[in-house]
Amino acid sequence: MSKQTAPQAIDYGDLNTLMGYKLRRAQVSFFDSFAQRCSKFGITPGLFGVLSLVKHNPGQTQSAIANALGNDRSAMVSVVDKLEAMQVLVRKPSATDRRSHALFLTKEGEKYYAELITQVREHEQQFMDLLQDDEAAIISDVLDRFAAVKSS
Amino acid sequence: MSKQTAPQAIDYGDLNTLMGYKLRRAQVSFFDSFAQRCSKFGITPGLFGVLSLVKHNPGQTQSAIANALGNDRSAMVSVVDKLEAMQVLVRKPSATDRRSHALFLTKEGEKYYAELITQVREHEQQFMDLLQDDEAAIISDVLDRFAAVKSS
DNA sequence: TATTGTTATACTCTATAACTATA
DNA sequence: TATAGTTATAGAGTATAACAATA
């Protein structure tokens, strides 16, 4: 026999009733799926977030982008390094403050982002297809409310 | 003047339309809030998940718990070590398989969990209070559907 | 041969502190 | 004095590979 004991069914107990755990499971599933579909682009959700924010806010500084994403400045360094190595983003000296770097998508970066966002939207659609009628609007709303809860 | 340039408003662009990003923001907010409320218990969402699963499935092995949570069994070692150090959980030799450890809550662990789950439920309620009418049921349903998406 | 717990290892993510050059 | 980017560092979290004991 291949297994002596059949794998016993697990009772998820409280976890099955907790929105926090459902939220985590859903996010992990979503990001795993994202990573798989976008693997050929060599990008992660974290890199995508920075790229997208620079795309929509050209010329902003690293600190401004970090703040907007809720990350620390120091974490931005390697992220921007990677995106620069991919030649989709560039640091340019700020015109008004020589301490800071203004971030821009390269010409290649614009093309890259255009192709990437198409994949990302298809991926979104794959999940949105699981919803019916007005559910999407409700989820979107509720997640925004959850995100707005201040923790201290 | 305290700042030379007023902080420019950030356009979240595509991110504001992507469920994946909303999901992440909501989860981070939820877990930050959880961590704050449960800090006096010295526990994290990850530790709580294991403890809760052992509570509801006494005698299961480390591998079974790891599998149920989608983790690798190697990651369980330090988690169980921590919970054992907190004296809320014990490894006992399995009666049927001398390779494996059966996990149980200690007497203290049962008391600890009872107090903890009360806090966790209050925390849940804090977020559920943001919802109205049938929204909770819809969110719960949709998150389950998202979690069920297989990624390969 | 396969599985359980374990160790060693490594990689990502995240955060803190300190440095430098600027402001 | 304070801020931007950077470096060094350290802590979680997660994963792979290999090993000893056992199945």
- Per-residue pLDDT tens, chain A, 152 aa: give them: 333 445 679 999 999 999 999 999 999 999 999 999 998 999 999 999 999 999 999 999 999 999 999 999 999 999 999 999 999 999 999 999 999 999 999 999 999 999 999 999 999 999 999 999 899 999 999 999 999 998 87
Strands of B78-125 (E only): list them: 89-93, 101-105
Distance B95 CA to D23 C1' (A): 14
Banded pLDDT at B3 (limits 50, 70, 90) = very low
What residues form DSSP beta bridges with A105?
A89
Q: Which residue has the tokens 């800071």?
A: A100
Tokens of B64: 């079974």
CB contact under 8 A, B10 and A60: yes
- What are phi and psi for residue A57, nearest 5 degrees? -140, 60
A50 touches strand D (CB under 7 A): no
Phi first, then psi: give them for residue A95, nearest 5 degrees: -75, -25
pLDDT score for B135: 97
Residue A151's pLDDT is 81
Residue B78 distance to chain A (closest CA, Å): 21
* Domain B36-147 architecture: Orthogonal Bundle (1.10)
Residue contact B14–A64, C-beta within 8 A = no
CATH fold of the domain at A43-145: Arc Repressor Mutant, subunit A (1.10.10)
Q: For residue range B110-145, list pLDDT tens digits in order.
A: 999 999 999 999 999 999 999 998 999 999 999 999
CA distances A101 to A16, A119, A134, B9, Å, are 47, 29, 43, 18
Q: What does the domain layout of chain A look like in residue ranges?
A: 43-145
Closest CA to A48 of A120, A107, A108, A111: A120
Option in A13, A124, A136 nearest B55 (CB): A13
Task: Give pLDDT, residue A1.
Answer: 35
Mean of pLDDT over chain B? 94
Q: How many residues does chain A have?
A: 152
How does DSSP classify residue A13?
A: G
